[in-house]
Structure 1
Amino acid sequence: MAIETADATATTASEFALADTDINWDRLDKTRFHIIGAILFTVQSALIHPTAVVKTRMQVADSGFSQMSGLSVFRHIIRSDGIPGIFRGFATSAIGSLPGRVLALTSLEMSKDMMLKYTEDLNMPEATRIGFANAIAGLSSNLASCIYFVPLDVICQRLMVQGLPGSAPCNGPFDVMQKVIKIEGLRGMYRGFGLTAVTQSPASALWWGIYGAAQHSIWRGLGYRDDLEKKPSHAEMAVVQAAAGTIAGACSSVITTPIDTVKTRLQVIDDYGVGRPSVMKTVKALLKEDGWKGFYRGFGPRFLNMSFYGTTMIVTYELIKRLSLKQVRE
């Protein structure tokens, strides 16, 4: 799921006519926006990184963890490697993500702002216009993110599986990059790119479909129907958005985990002796090893990862935008 998830909160919240929920690009202090965003998203990444490490190790062939529960894998990593073990690859991910976040956030906000201006004079309902602008912005941000983040993902996942059978030993992120490029060229850094790019758009649509339905149901359950005089407080909005984000992330993980398993295997496998790994080869290997349930290796940690990610992303991004509003001079 791309970073666009947080921004579209304004779309669903707009029905309550709260002005501050739709904070556009021209209302933001860009420097504060990127600095505060870098800090808060790094903290958020630190909170969910251990689940990514556990999930990745469970998905790798011959790791010895594929039949274990996520909690058992977590305990094993703590016993063998201590706290640093569950944060393998985090420094590379956190530092390497900074330029990518700037790229993703900027492309998201600028694309949305541009589409809102271009569609201003079109004869369409406001909700449809905002939804269309968010969709184009999300697509632009996704494409920009894939170009930058897929190579970073390849490096981080290889660092996460260090020490497992079949993993090539390496000394840090630059060593990983040099070894991959030496053997496969630059295209080796883009393993799983097509799978990532092709699946992120429908995955995002799925996430937003569930999120919108969940949030709508929650608001109606709380009594916010067509009465525009009754408006939710900021605290209520945060709680409802967090709950809807959790539901959306949890449901999405059920459908997207098989794709993630294949992508992870493609990005960490070192099977150069039999030719370049492919999606079909990876799918057949998974079926041979563990049947259809093999596609759900690491489901528990990914379920927690996506649920927590959806919750914290919504709340964090809205907080960043509020903290980054330009100061109005009297």
Structure 2
Amino acid sequence: MSAAQNRTPAGISLPQTEINWDRLDKTKFFVVGAGLFSGVSALLYPVSVLKTRMQVARADAVHTTALSIFKHVLRSEGIPGLYRGFGLIITGTIPSRMVFLTTLETTKAATLKLTEKLDVPETSAAAIANGLAGLVSSMASQTVFVPLDVVSQRLMVQGTPGATKYDGSIDAIRKILRADGIRGLYRGFGMSVLTYSPSSAVWWAAYGSSQRLIWRHLGYGTGKEKQPPSQAEVVLVQACGGIVAGGTSALATTPMDTVKTRLQVMSSEGGGRPTIKQTVKQLLRDDGWGGFYKGVGPRFLSMSLWGTSMITTYEFLKRLSVKQEA
């Protein structure tokens, strides 16, 4: 992370966290990172399945709550039902994550250099660099991720009323291409950009801001003499920042995520490709304004857990990937 990110409000440098992009062994960073993030994804994937099923559930559906859907999936499909589409996501998100992380770090570094030239205050510089890096990196990675998201979410909702049946990922891709062509794999691309890019920007900005508030609460930046924080304190503050960032981002973007999910997995009344406008109208007819926050509980939990797990894993990965001094 950048120097601007790794100082408390008093300017105290945090130990072992100033690891810039140019100090990383890129091969080790991506290879080890693929394994670490795949493990985190495996732990949290069932929450995404529950969130997706809640978002596409009809108003008259028998199972609409997270607990009810969870019990139904286990009873009817077993543990594999909570991992539908997981193989595709794990395989496909490796290149998507490489694009995201590379863009994130390079954009952050370039923005920080620019803010230094403009003499922007340290706290503001960190917020701007984090937010812009999160926005740009998310937009870049969506070109790779959206087709995977479309297929995986089609697999996730199997077993719900009206859902198309697929015999695995390859069959789903084949049927989507046959029905809608390559455009079918990019259904909801606009909504994905509108959902994930602001979400990423909000997440990274909230992460940087919340860390500074936490450090101040712990007594740093008060003008009093204090020893630099221990490594355990640094990890704990990063984890808490991840929780705050994930929760904030989830609350801000769940309505867009609900529309995006429905756009990707549901058909319009005429049998063709539904538009964003048609999807919004149908959601309002079925569930009212509250429908835009269907699945907010699992999404809040998922993003908070993912945020905490991701940022602590990410910081650990960067420490592992530091180039050995010659």
For normalisation by structure 1, the TM-score amounts to 0.89
Query: Retained in 2: the 8 A contact 1:57–1:63?
Result: no
CA distance in 1, matches of 2:307, 2:95: 22
Match of 2:193 in 1: 197
Match of 1:40 in 2: 36
Unaligned regions of 5+ residues in structure 2, if any?
A: none
Alignment-mate amino acid for residue 181 of structure 2: G
How has the CA–CA distance of structure 1 residues 114 and 251 changed in structure 2, closer, same or farther, with 3 Å as cutoff? closer
Query: Retained in 1: the 8 A contact 2:111–2:129?
Result: yes
Match of 1:327 in 2: 324
Query: Retained in 1: the 8 A contact 2:134–2:204?
Result: no
Deviation of residue 254 (structure 1)?
2.2
| Pair 1:84-2:77 in alignment | no
Secondary structure class of the residue paired with 1:185: helix
CA distance in 2, matches of 1:57, 1:252: 20
Query: Retained in 1: the 8 A contact 2:154–2:265?
Result: yes
How has the CA–CA distance of structure 1 residues 98 and 73 changed in structure 2, closer, same or farther, with 3 Å as cutoff? same
Alignment of 1:169-248 (within 5 A): 169-225=165-221, 226-227=223-224, 229-248=226-245
How has the CA–CA distance of structure 1 residues 11 and 119 changed in structure 2, closer, same or farther, with 3 Å as cutoff? closer
Match of 1:304 in 2: 301
Secondary structure class of the residue paired with 1:14: coil
CA distance in 2, matches of 1:161, 1:150: 17
| Pair 1:146-2:167 in alignment | no
Match of 2:102 in 1: 106
Query: Retained in 2: the 8 A contact 1:249–1:309?
Result: yes
CA distance in 1, matches of 2:134, 2:209: 19
Unaligned regions of 5+ residues in structure 1, if any?
A: 1-6
State the Cα deviation string for residues 286-316 of structure 1 (Å, max 9, x = none): 1111212222222221121011011111111
For normalisation by structure 2, the TM-score amounts to 0.90
Secondary structure class of the residue paired with 1:155: helix
Deviation of residue 65 (structure 1)?
5.2
Deviation of residue 205 (structure 1)?
3.7
Match of 2:248 in 1: 251
CA distance in 2, matches of 1:269, 1:83: 25
CA distance in 1, matches of 2:252, 2:153: 21
Query: Retained in 2: the 8 A contact 1:89–1:160?
Result: yes
Secondary structure class of the residue paired with 2:6: helix
User: What RMSD in Å do the two structures reach over aligned CA positions?
Assistant: 2.4
Alignment of 1:112-131 (within 5 A): 112-117=108-113, 121-131=117-127
| Pair 1:295-2:292 in alignment | yes
Query: Retained in 2: the 8 A contact 1:14–1:22?
Result: no
CA distance in 1, matches of 2:308, 2:298: 15
Match of 1:282 in 2: 279
Query: Retained in 2: the 8 A contact 1:257–1:302?
Result: yes
Q: How many residues align?
A: 322
Match of 2:6 in 1: 13
Deviation of residue 44 (structure 1)?
0.7
| Pair 1:93-2:89 in alignment | yes
CA distance in 1, matches of 2:214, 2:293: 30
Deviation of residue 130 (structure 1)?
4.5
Identity %: 52
Deviation of residue 322 (structure 1)?
0.5
